[in-house]
Amino acid sequence: MTPILEQHIIELLQQGDQRGMSLLYDHYGPALYGCALKLTRDKDASSDILQDALLKIWKKANTYQSEKSKFFTWCYGITRNTAIDYLRKVQKKQLKEIQLQDWDVYPIEDSINQEDRDEVKNQLGKLDSKYQVVLDAVFYKGMTHMEAADYLKMPLGTFKTRVRSALKELRNINKGIILIIWSLITS
């Protein structure tokens, strides 16, 4: 693209003239779509990303500074970031939709009688508080591991490690209590 045409597109966009958007799409659309497609490998998503990126370019046209980058590079960066944001959003949505495993949710309150429940609470009371809170979130509040990790503001991996460590501690405290918990998990 000639520098004159590029400058004309920039000026039109900065003036809010829709002809600038049409020229932008005609001259940069295929390359920007290719950027999105390369990252997402999804034609429909890439079309949506291109549309979002063009809208961002339109809205941010006045922030473009030619001394910092070429116009195409600036547009490409916006498109790339829009595609990355899309991928993060999809990944986050998929993580929420995935049921980690059936045994991630097992509220004790609904599963055992009062005597056994009291025994479990007694055994849990012997644990370090960092273990008590993770087991409470999972067993008593019925949260998934992901929900509990978010609730306790800790990484999911750390949460799962603490659950495993807590169950090991329970095993050391009283081997019989593990049988009760295990029967709840597998039922």
Report the CATH number that the domain containing residue 92 is assigned in CATH: 1.10.1740.10
Q: Tell me what pLDDT residue 25 has.
A: 94
Residue 62, sorted as left (phi over 0), alpha (psi -120 to 50) or beta, turns out to be alpha
Q: Are residues 26 and 112 in the same domain?
A: no
Q: Which of 80, 97, 114 is the last residue of a domain?
A: 97
Q: Are residues 73 and 130 in the same domain?
A: no
Q: Tell me what pLDDT residue 97 has.
A: 60
User: Higher pLDDT residue, 111 or 154?
Assistant: 154
Provide the residue type at 8 as one letter: H
Res 105 pLDDT > 50: no
Q: What is the mean pLDDT of residues 103-114?
A: 52
pLDDT band at 21 (very low <50, low <70, confident <90, very high): very high
Res 176 pLDDT > 60: no
User: Higher pLDDT residue, 169 or 174?
Assistant: 169
Q: Are residues 54 and 114 in the same domain?
A: no
What is the total count of domains within the chain?
A: 2
Expressed in percent and rounded to 5, the helix, strand and coil fractions of the chain are 80, 0, 20
Res 107 pLDDT > 70: no
Percentage of residues in the chain with pLDDT exceeding 90?
43
Q: Are residues 87 and 126 in the same domain?
A: no
* Cβ–Cβ < 8 Å for 180, 112: yes
Res 91 pLDDT > 90: no
Q: Tell me what pLDDT residue 174 has.
A: 63
Q: Are residues 53 and 128 in the same domain?
A: no
User: Higher pLDDT residue, 31 or 111?
Assistant: 31
Helix 18-40 to helix 43-60 angle (10° resolution) is 140
Q: Are residues 152 and 133 in the same domain?
A: yes
Q: Are residues 85 and 161 in the same domain?
A: no
pLDDT band at 84 (very low <50, low <70, confident <90, very high): very high
Provide the residue type at 139 as one letter: F
Q: Which of 64, 97, 130 is the last residue of a domain?
A: 97
pLDDT band at 28 (very low <50, low <70, confident <90, very high): very high
Place of tokens 């409470």: 136
Number of C-alpha atoms within 13 angstroms, CB side, residue 142? 5
User: Higher pLDDT residue, 139 or 167?
Assistant: 167
pLDDT band at 140 (very low <50, low <70, confident <90, very high): confident
Range of the domain at 138: 102-186
Q: Tell me what pLDDT residue 52 has.
A: 96
Q: Which of 79, 97, 115 is the last residue of a domain?
A: 97
**Burial per residue of 52-76, b for 16 or more beta-carbon CB atoms within 10 angstroms, e otherwise:** bbbeebeeebeebeeeeeebeebbb
